[in-house]
Structure 1
């Protein structure tokens, strides 16, 4: 039973750490939130706030990060609606730019499972359509 519980916790935590391609449409000439990252455990309790870095700069704008509190979306399964602290990702296109831009964000988070601590690095790719 203990092994099964440890495996379940490991699988639920490690599924959070898979890299994604995130697509967003945003208005021109305005800073927009394009994503947010937070970590939480199998009991839906918030974990440490991820450390964020830009892995690949956008060609036609700038990326910034801000610590925020937000409710988890339906993608969080049974944890949906829980309040957590995390980091929001903001994109600001260059003045007058319209079209597609992309960038990559690396976030590092602590993972605790089966009595061991690990650090997980994930790189998400953002594709932003500026309209």
Structure 2
């Protein structure tokens, strides 16, 4: 006689804390301006595929967008310092005439290298 049983066990693990990076940027009112460029590069200083950008919280007083961009690596003493790397730029444009503070949150990348950018934008 064969007896078969199935045991179901529910296991829960605490969620990992999100890697959130708070940043500030200042832009001119009504102009599309690049806030940051994100890129990945290897030890050979060659760029890899641009990381994905996912908007989490839209700005209330403007527009958020992305476009292919070039970044110059700025890491003193690093062999890649000064090299140009292809990446993805994140851009913001306020509503015409708006002056004040806006806020945007986006995720950069996926998987273990992903992080969230929480950006306060000062519009002058």
* Superposition TM-score, scaled by structure 1 size: 0.71
Q: How does 1:14-29 map to 2 (within 5 A)?
A: 19-29=20-30
Following TM superposition, the consecutive aligned residue runs of length 4 or more in structure 1 with deviations greater than 3 angstroms are 74-78
The match for 2:68 is: 67
Q: CA deviation at 1:123?
A: 0.9
The match for 1:115 is: none
Report the more deviating stretch, 41-50 or 95-104.
41-50
Aligned-residue Cα RMSD (Å) equals 2.1
Maintained 8 Å contact 2:41/2:47: yes
Q: How many residues align?
A: 106
Q: CA deviation at 1:29?
A: 1.3
1:129 is aligned to 2:122: yes
**Over alpha carbons, which structure has the higher Rg?**
2
Structure 2 gap ranges (5+): 1-18
Structure 1 gap ranges (5+): 1-17, 110-117
Q: CA deviation at 1:129?
A: 0.4
The match for 1:50 is: 51
